[in-house]
Amino acid sequence: MKWYQLVIASLLVCPVGCVNPPGADEESRYVSPAPLDSHRWDGIEPIYSARGFCGSGFHVGDSLIVTAAHVINGETSVTVNGVEAQFLVVSPSSDIAVLRVPGYSARAYKLADAKLGEPAFYRAYTSGSYALGEPVVDQVVTAGRISSLNLAGAIGFDGGIAPGMSGGPVFNRRGEVIGMGVSCVSWMSPPFPTPNPTMGRLVPAAWLKAALQIARKTP
């Protein structure tokens, strides 16, 4: 077998989404269960409907939760932290939704513009595992860098976003939210025609700020 055949074979058996194993430095690219630091999850919530887990959202103050519009697409009612949420903004074109959760009080995250090449950390919930046949909602962290400021009009993040992780916040090192995860973009890595599924697409903070301006004017 030629050397290039060995390389191609190794790529083909690598499961979709495989990345480098986690190390002590959170800057390394990985997808792993979140560490036991519950304070870092204050203000990041799973969203549920009558059908079950929908996705993630995060608090930006005034009891407002930001999430992806497709997370609540088709739903007439969702709950956050056990409380029914009010739909204030739902924009499929920008994939942004803003919910009001009456009485909700938790850490509120500040929005900031992303910088090309800066380290970024994505925190979200996902229901990718099962226990006794029932889906389990897990906290997941991915880490990487901002690889593009114009990925089809959005932000590129090379840390990876898996199905079910939509709506979670992406942080810079200062703990500011620089984007919201909405999808994973597959692209081809030359010279081998192998899809690379680790490019995440983020909604920029500027779009989130515009949606929040509308939401805060909604009675």
Sheet containing 96-100, strands listed edge to edge, beginning at the edge strand earlier in sequence = 83-84, 79-80, 44-49, 52-59, 64-67, 96-100, 86-91
Q: What is the pLDDT of residue 6?
A: 30
Q: What is the pLDDT of residue 8?
A: 27
Q: What is the pLDDT of residue 198?
A: 60
Q: What is the pLDDT of residue 44?
A: 95
Q: What is the pLDDT of residue 133?
A: 55
Q: What is the dihedral of CA 172, 107, 160, 18, to 10 degrees?
A: 120
Distance between CA atoms of residues 208 and 178, nearest Å: 10
CATH top class, domain 25-38+109-205: mainly beta
Q: What is the pLDDT of residue 170?
A: 96
- CA distances in angstroms from 199 to 36, 58, 60, 155, 182, listed in the order given: 26, 22, 26, 10, 11
Q: What is the pLDDT of residue 13?
A: 27
Beta bridge pairs of residue 53: 48
pLDDT tens digits, 21-56: 223 333 333 333 344 354 568 999 999 999 899 999
Position 68, amino acid: A
Q: What is the pLDDT of residue 5?
A: 33
Report the topology of domain 39-108+210-216: Thrombin, subunit H (2.40.10)
Q: What is the pLDDT of residue 131?
A: 53
- Span(s) in the chain for CATH 2.40.10.10: 25-38+109-205, 39-108+210-216
pLDDT tens digits, 136-159: 788 888 899 999 998 878 999 988
Which regions in the chain score pLDDT beneath 70? 1-40, 128-135, 185-198
